[in-house]
Amino acid sequence: MDLGISGRTALVTGASRGLGFSSARALSNAGVKVCLVSRSTDRLSTAVQELSDGCHTIAADLSDPSSIQSMLEEVKETFGAIDILVANAGGPPPGNFETTAIEDFSEALQLNLLSTIEMCKGLIPEMIDRGWGRVVAITSIAVREPMAQLILSNTARSGLTSFLKTTATEVAGAGVTVNSIQPGLHGTERLTELYEDLQGVAANVPTGKLGNPDDFGQVVAFLCSEQAKFITGAAIPVDGGAAKGLQ
- The DSSP secondary-structure symbol of 244 reads -
* Closer CB to ligand NAD, 18 or 133, in the complex: 18
Q: Is 113 exposed, middle or buried (0-12, 13-18, 19+ CB in 10 A)?
A: buried
* Closer CB to ligand NAD, 39 or 165, in the complex: 39
Q: Please give the C-alpha separations between residue 83 and each of 86, 124, 136, 185, in angstroms, as whole numbers.
A: 10, 9, 11, 29
Distance in angstroms (rounded) separating the CA atoms of residues 166 and 172: 10
Between residue 166 and residue 185, which ones bind ligand NAD under the rule CB under 6 A? 183, 185
Q: Which stretch binds ligand NAD (CB under 6 A): 71-79, 129-137, 187-195, 223-231?
A: 187-195
Distance in angstroms (rounded) separating the CA atoms of residues 193 and 90: 13
Rounded to a whole number of angstroms, the minimum distance from the CB of residue 68 to ligand NAD is: 9
The radius of gyration computed from the CA coordinates of the chain, to the nearest angstrom, equals: 17
- Give residue 34's Cα distance to chain centre: 14
Per-residue binding string, ligand NAD, 2-21, x by CB under 6 A, is ------------xxxxxxx-
Q: Is 191 in the site for ligand NAD (CB under 6 A)?
A: yes
Rounded to a whole number of angstroms, the minimum distance from the CB of residue 190 to ligand NAD is: 3
Q: Is 63 in the site for ligand NAD (CB under 6 A)?
A: yes
Interface with ligand NAD by CB under 6 A: which residues? 14-20, 38-39, 61-63, 88-91, 111, 138, 140, 183, 185-186, 188-191
